[in-house]
Amino acid sequence: MVKEGLYVEPRAQGDFAVRRENSKRASATAPTQAEAIARAKEIEPDGEIHVARVRKGGDGPDKFRKV
C-alpha cells in the first residue's frame, strides 16, 4: 500500500491542520505550524509532509514545500 502525503496548512481559526490528501477533515490540529509538523511526523514517520507557505494577504496558501 502506498502511503499518501500529509499536508500542514493554516486554518481560519488561526491554528494549523494536518490533513491527508483529499480528506474532508483534519487528522490533527495544533496551535503552531511547528507543532503541526511534529504531529504529522508522529502520524506518518516515513511519509512525505507538505507544508503550506504562510504569506500575508491573499486568500490562502498558494504553494506547498516538503519538510
Tens-binned pLDDT, residue by residue, of the chain (67 aa): 455 789 999 999 999 999 998 899 999 999 999 999 999 999 999 889 999 876 655 555 556 666 6
Domain carrying residue 10: 6-66
Neighbours of 56 (CB within 10 A): 4
The vertex-59 CA angle with 53 and 61, nearest 5°, equals: 15
Q: Please check whether residue 12 lies inside any domain of the structure.
A: yes
Q: Please check whether residue 1 lies inside any domain of the structure.
A: no
Question: pTM for the whole thing?
Answer: 0.76
Where do we find the cell 504553494? 63
**Is the separation of the CB atoms in 43 and 18 below 8 Å?**
yes
Domains: count for the chain: 1
DSSP state, residue 61: -
Which H or E run contains 36?
helix 33-43
